[in-house]
Amino acid sequence: MKGARTSILLAVVLNFAIPTFSASAGSGQPKTPPVEGTWLGALKVSSIELRIVFNLRAQADGSLSGTLDSPDQGATGIAITRVGVEKERVTVEVSTIGGRYEGTLNAEGSEMSGKWMQGGAALDLVMKRVKEVPKVVRPQEPKKPYPYLDEEVTYQNIKAGFVLAGTLTMPRTGSPFPAVILITGSGPQDRDESLFGHRPFLVLADYLTRHGIAVLRVDDRGVGGSKGDASQATSEDFAQDVLAGVAYLKTRKEIDPKRIGLAGHSEGGIIAPIAATQSADVAFIVLMAGTGVPGDVIVEKQIANVLKTQGADQAAIDTATRNQRRICEVIRSETDPNAAREKVRKIIKESIAVLSEQQKQALQQSDATVDAQVKGVASKWFRFFITHDPKTVLRRVKCPVLAINGEFDKQVLPQENLPAIEQALREGGNTHFTVKELPGLNHLFQTAKTGNMDEYAKIEETMSPMALETIAKWIEGQTKQK
């Protein structure tokens, strides 16, 4: 979904101090070409390419300092903690994200070939010297000064006992305004839902605010200015964060307390209905690629789609999905966390054992990688995700609902989820809903060719005008003063 917590190797860690360190060419050896400068490469993670940038610079004393950027994840300035140069061997360590690169420099000093190691995985990575990194074009991102108010805000989740931070945008005139809180998808996200070089919530907030709707977008727990710990939290806990935002908006005289709604993307489309059933203050909800079927079904479909995209045959897809069903059954039935982890570990090991040596090498699994997978699927969040049936909550939603999905969404399939959402709303007696499949759009609501995840970063468009207009017009219709 972003959804069933798509694995991204690089953590988004910003604004660390940049240390310095020594680099040695080896006494009495042929001079090694200098490595200072800008280096660009791309990691292949499943079906996704993530660009990696090393910014290395020499200091007056001959030492090197530098930073790492991951443009497709919106991460810049991550401190490189050590660079080692020994003859043609180059080592780059980034301790804040547990990453290490080991490469071999060519004779011209123009290219390094090696491996990026993180979380137990070792991925091929070729870094090439470049004069500058090609700029990512994101034409929809708004530029200051904005024609509306833009305010940094903080407020308490009193029940959980920590502060959340975000940005509130409001039109300059016409208060009290209708308002919407934007809810990110799975995994730690900033207030702009930054991913693959895009900032979808910045673009959506800008569009809605220009159309007279106040917008609150918020850093997730433990991200940016928000405190709290997401590692032991589930979608139900995140719903409490959302309701804290609703309570905050009710304190603002510029906001109409009877016209506050929610718009959730991916997992946010699970969270929004939970929040709406717990508070009469939620006037409407927008589900953007929200789910209508349980998480175990979502995960299985995602695995099948990724493998199909990678060219796997049906036998391989069937084996992978069968093993995933076994894992989900363990998580559902085993109440002892330690026992669950060991059973999951056994299934993963068994699935690796039947692979050919070539497949094992391509998969690059290690004990550390397996440990990371076990930790993820045995988490409290994953247990809730695969066992939660969104229909049970949707049947209790009484406020107006807009549910939209892209025709080419390969992470939350529209043909399965939209009918399930509509059925649940009807069964609950809700007559104030609109369900739409938007043609030609992917999971991020970009205009796409295939919908595959490897397109996300390559598409310049952050969010389709069709999606923006659909959301804005529907909210305007629900919040129009009578």
Instruction: Name the residue among 471, 473, 465, 423 with its Cα closest to residue 440.
Output: 465
Q: Please give the distance of CA 316 from its chain centroid, rounded to a whole number.
A: 27
The tokens describing 277, both together, are 């059933």
pLDDT of residue 1: 54
Q: Count the alpha carbons within 13 Å of 227 in the hemisphere toward its beta carbon.
A: 9
pLDDT of residue 262: 98
Cα gap 442→74, rounded to integer Å: 20
Q: Please give the distance of CA 415 from its chain centroid, rounded to a whole number.
A: 23
Cα gap 414→438, rounded to integer Å: 9
Cα gap 66→305, rounded to integer Å: 38
DSSP 8-state secondary structure symbol assigned to residue 72:
G
| Residue 167 CB contacts under 8 Å (≥ 6 apart), including other chains | 150, 151, 152, 153, 191, 205, 216, 217
Name the residue type at position 459.
I
Cα gap 120→118, rounded to integer Å: 5
pLDDT of residue 97: 85
Parts of the chain belonging to CATH 2.40.128 = 20-130
**Long-range Cβ contact pairs of 365-369 (< 8 A, separation 24 or more):** 366/120, 366/121, 366/122, 367/120, 368/119, 368/120, 368/121, 369/119, 369/120, 369/121
pLDDT of residue 14: 22
Q: Where are the beta strands (DSSP E) in 240-395?
A: 255-265, 285-288
Instruction: Name the residue among 218, 220, 229, 219 with its Cα closest to residue 161.
Output: 229
pLDDT of residue 360: 55
Cα gap 285→42, rounded to integer Å: 38
Q: Count the alpha carbons within 13 Å of 320 in the hemisphere toward its beta carbon.
A: 17
Determine whether domain 149-294+388-479 maps to CATH 3.40.50.1820. Answer: yes
Neighbours of 307 (CB within 10 A): 20
Q: Taking each helix axis as running N to C, give the angle between helix 314-333 and helix 380-387, from 0 to 180 degrees, rounded to the nearest 10.
A: 110
Instruction: Name the residue among 439, 445, 440 with its Cα closest to residue 462.
Output: 445
Q: What is the pLDDT along the chain (482 residues), one digit of tens a residue?
A: 544 333 322 322 222 222 222 233 333 444 567 899 999 999 987 667 889 999 998 877 777 879 999 887 767 889 999 998 898 999 999 988 888 999 999 999 999 999 998 876 788 999 999 999 988 889 999 999 999 999 999 999 999 999 999 999 999 999 999 999 999 999 889 999 998 889 999 999 999 999 999 999 999 999 999 999 998 899 999 999 999 999 999 999 999 999 999 999 999 999 999 999 999 999 999 999 999 999 999 999 988 887 887 778 888 889 889 999 999 999 999 888 889 889 988 888 887 776 666 555 555 555 666 777 787 787 899 999 999 999 999 999 999 999 999 999 999 999 999 999 999 999 999 999 999 999 999 999 999 999 998 899 889 999 999 999 999 999 999 999 76
Phi (first) and psi of residue 55, to 5 degrees: -110, 100
Parts of the chain belonging to CATH 3.40.50.1820 = 149-294+388-479
CATH number for 20-130: choose from 3.30.70, 1.10.760, 2.40.128, 1.10.287: 2.40.128
The alpha carbon dihedral of 52, 289, 267, 473 has a sign of positive
